[in-house]
Structure 1
Amino acid sequence: MRKKILAIMMMAVMAVSMTACGSKGDNSSSNEKSEPKVTDTASKSDFKVSMVTDTGGVNDQSFNQSSWEGLQNLKEKTGAQISYLESTQETDYTSNLDKQVDEGNKLVWGIGFAMANAILEAAEMNDEVNYAIVDNAYEEVPENVTCVTFNAQDSSFLVGYVAGLTTKTDSVGFVGGISSAIIDQFEFGYRAGVAHAAKELGKDIKVEVQYADSFSDSAKGKAIAKSMYSNGCDIVFHAAGGVGIGVIEAAEEEKQFVIGVDSDQSVLSPDYVLTSALKRVDVAVEDISEKCMNGEEIGGKVFNYGLTDGGVGIPAENKNMDPEVYKKTMALQDEITAGKIVPPYNKDTFDAFNQ
């Protein structure tokens, strides 16, 4: 087992800081970023947690960036040592995970479902290290792996409803990154929300759907969105990581609305972001990392975040949204929370929802 002898030799030194997550040392990572000065206890400042991004990169203005913000919040709150490595291609996943283990991290995050196989292999090879993955749940979760999932269909349903109530052309669009069960939550949740608004208004609203087959090609996202706007869409929702940056650029150039994803993306285009389907990866990453730091048993489990715990939703401030639309959307959110409406998360549940 990789570095097990070293880990045993260091146990006496690290006994004060050991938790249920396991550890492989306390060397500083070469990728650790400059953070606010901390004054927490030695045990917490010795806790090392890291993340490996998918190909979207840490500045994707989406879930990778949100994940890193979660670790930054953890450091500011507890003094934990944090670091990240960016993956430029899928073949980087395994080597980046290995590097983070070599740096002595007690918890290593893989950001995105595309890292599922790499995390599983790393966890099998290093059973003394705890791993966590965003947007994936294994049928059998290894004892040293924690899975984090979100009810992204709920927030997507809400923004679809907003789009349906707001469109003037009765035509809206959806741009996905790479087709998967995770992105299905966004697409079909959104389409169902649009359909719910159309039914309420007593009219038909078209939803144009296209995938970029990428989470990083912003130029392709821009081209797809421009085509949608040219075809009559006046609102486009993206769930495409870095591809979505191009979608937002197209919205600005065409002076049409766009709906952001994961974080509040209105900062990228204050005049044209209608709202955003929030998926608070930062909340989950901070929460799970702190549980690990405090010695809680997190391995072998799936943690799901939804509307009730603030894991998904829409921003409270939406300057481009009609206040009456926001009011109706919040009432709809209450219905979802109460279980009166169950947004679909794939084609089968979408078809059943519309019967």
Structure 2
Amino acid sequence: MKKVVVALVVAVLALALAACGQKRTYEIALVTDVGTINDKSFNQGAWEGVVKYAKEFKISYKYYQPDTKSTDDYVESIEVAIENGAKIVVTPGFLFENAIWLVQDEHPEVKFILLDGAPHNVTDWGTMATVDGSAPNFDMADNVFSIFYAEEESGFLAGYAAVKEGFTKLGFMGGMSVPAVVRFGYGFVQGANYAANEMNLADGAITIKYEYLNSFAPDAAHQTKAASWYTAGTEVIFVAAGGAGNSVMKAAEGVANKYVIGVDVDQKAESERVITSAMKELGNSVYQTLEKIYDETGVGGTSVTLDAAVDGVGLPADFSRFNTFTQAMYDTIFAKVEGKQITIVKDTNIAVTALVVPKVTLQVNS
């Protein structure tokens, strides 16, 4: 009997030791860009989609945060995620375009969800220099799900809401003049013009200060610039600049009756001065793409653009910080945008000053 007991104990210990030696794996991974999963912006929106799907279907998941903002570190984090068992890797933002181009063929068994971008090897659009020294290449493998958003529609709705609320002195601060940010700004200007036209305002009645900060990070200089705009009369600033938006919020909080329009996700919890946000439905798009991948109904290798027609963009369903603009007004304009009854220019190759917006006086800072 003792021998049997000892044998059982040995067997149990052996199993326990074997279990301890097993490496835990995570099937769905997200690699952050310059921010964190709590950035109240792009990373967080994408992460919420991962968490929602993974919890609902009881799938293991984990996020990885690169050490630096570099393609090498993005690739390294992706490789670590795959070594840890990732079958699907979510990468939020255009900064991952080079990284996904480098790994897509190396891991054909892994699905990659790339938000706001498509794989390529170009590192400098001016010189067309490439990450590997070869000719520019834009091949997208079948295991890549490339998702873009109709930012011009979201920006349009934000500009429309601001003018309908009664603001006449607006501002737009973009992080960098990359296509997604440019589309936000162009839409904002056109939305303001459309609302002013509906309200029969005089030509030039709406003033919009327009500038790119060349940064997506919080910075005291951004706060100072925003404060100077507010002091000079700007009433509300739409800031499409990631973490730099927090600096603008601080500036608004320092001056009475000044407001901010957030970006990417609903940012009203960040500051009481955020009246609304020009959103991309990041969480929904990640969730829906994961659903298609697991149901084997999704097809990779091509880019899709999510717009108002598929609830890919819009404003939050909370209008409590508006005094004039209402849910009913929003529903009416959203239906027009959704039904493509309004032509919204999104050509990022033209200058914002080339937009036909007679109701708007643009003050563009280079």
Would the TM-score normalized by the shorter structure come out above 0.5? yes
Q: Mapping of 1:234-313 within 5 angstroms? A: 234-255=235-256, 256-270=258-272, 272-313=273-314
Deviation for aligned residue 1:306: 1.6
Change beyond 3 A, Cα 1:286–1:27: farther
Q: Which residue of 2 aligns with 1:191?
A: 189
| Equivalent of 2:42 in 44, 57, 63 | 63
- The C-alpha deviation readout for 1:60-90, integer Å capped at 9, x for no partner, is 1011101111111012211111111123532
- The C-alpha deviation readout for 1:111-148, integer Å capped at 9, x for no partner, is 10111011110112222222110001355421121101
Confirm whether residue 142 of structure 1 aligns to residue 141 of structure 2.
yes
Change beyond 3 A, Cα 1:316–1:156: same
Q: Secondary structure in 2 aligned to 1:222?
A: helix
Q: Structure 1 unaligned segments of length 5 or more: list them.
A: 1-25, 33-47
Q: Is the 8 A contact 1:49 1:289 kept in 2?
A: no
Q: Which residue of 2 aligns with 1:12?
A: none
The aligned amino acid for 1:189 is: G
Q: Is the 8 A contact 2:53 2:287 kept in 1?
A: yes
Instruction: Return the alpha-carbon distance in structure 2 between the equivalents of residues 66 and 221 of structure 1.
Output: 24
Q: Which residue of 2 aligns with 1:3?
A: none
Q: What is the identity percentage for the equivalent residue pairs of Structure 1 and Structure 2?
A: 29
Q: Secondary structure in 2 aligned to 1:254?
A: coil
User: Which is further off, 291-300 or 249-258?
Assistant: 291-300
Change beyond 3 A, Cα 1:79–1:279: same
Deviation for aligned residue 1:208: 0.9
Q: Is the 8 A contact 1:55 1:88 kept in 2?
A: no
Q: Which residue of 1 aligns with 2:213?
A: 212
Instruction: Return the alpha-carbon distance in structure 2 between the equivalents of residues 219 and 79 of structure 1.
Output: 43
Q: Which residue of 1 aligns with 2:128?
A: none
Q: Is the 8 A contact 1:174 1:209 kept in 2?
A: yes
Q: Is the 8 A contact 1:235 1:258 kept in 2?
A: yes
Deviation for aligned residue 1:232: 1.2
Q: Which residue of 1 aligns with 2:105?
A: 124
Q: Mapping of 1:1-355 within 5 angstroms? A: 27-28=23-24, 48-91=27-70, 92-137=73-118, 140-168=139-167, 170-201=168-199, 202-203=201-202, 204-255=205-256, 256-270=258-272, 272-347=273-348, 348=350, 351=354, 353-354=356-357
- The C-alpha deviation readout for 1:219-261, integer Å capped at 9, x for no partner, is 3432332122122111001111111111122222223111111
Q: Is the 8 A contact 1:152 1:312 kept in 2?
A: yes
Q: Is the 8 A contact 1:344 1:353 kept in 2?
A: no
Change beyond 3 A, Cα 1:124–1:224: farther
Deviation for aligned residue 1:186: 0.6
Q: Is the 8 A contact 1:221 1:245 kept in 2?
A: no
Instruction: Return the alpha-carbon distance in structure 1 between the equivalents of residues 51 and 279 of structure 2.
Output: 19
TM-score w.r.t. length of structure 2? 0.79
The aligned amino acid for 2:60 is: Q
Q: Secondary structure in 1 aligned to 2:345?
A: coil
- The C-alpha deviation readout for 1:40-79, integer Å capped at 9, x for no partner, is xxxxxxxx11111111222210111011111110122111
Q: Is the 8 A contact 1:97 1:108 kept in 2?
A: yes
User: Which is further off, 212-221 or 170-179?
Assistant: 212-221
Q: Secondary structure in 1 aligned to 2:114?
A: strand
- The C-alpha deviation readout for 1:320-349, integer Å capped at 9, x for no partner, is 113545433321211111211022224539
Q: Structure 2 unaligned segments of length 5 or more: list them.
A: 1-21, 120-137, 359-366
Instruction: Return the alpha-carbon distance in structure 2 between the equivalents of residues 329 and 165 of structure 1.
Output: 10
Q: CA RMSD in A?
A: 2.2
Deviation for aligned residue 1:268: 1.5
TM-score w.r.t. length of structure 1? 0.81
Q: Secondary structure in 1 aligned to 2:95?
A: helix
Change beyond 3 A, Cα 1:95–1:164: same
Instruction: Return the alpha-carbon distance in structure 2 between the equivalents of residues 293 and 79 of structure 1.
Output: 13
Q: Is the 8 A contact 2:146 2:304 kept in 1?
A: yes
Q: Is the 8 A contact 1:93 1:118 kept in 2?
A: yes
Deviation for aligned residue 1:308: 2.2
Q: Which residue of 1 aligns with 2:19?
A: none
Instruction: Return the alpha-carbon distance in structure 1 between the equivalents of residues 219 and 295 of structure 2.
Output: 40
Deviation for aligned residue 1:294: 2.6
Change beyond 3 A, Cα 1:53–1:339: same
The aligned amino acid for 2:111 is: N
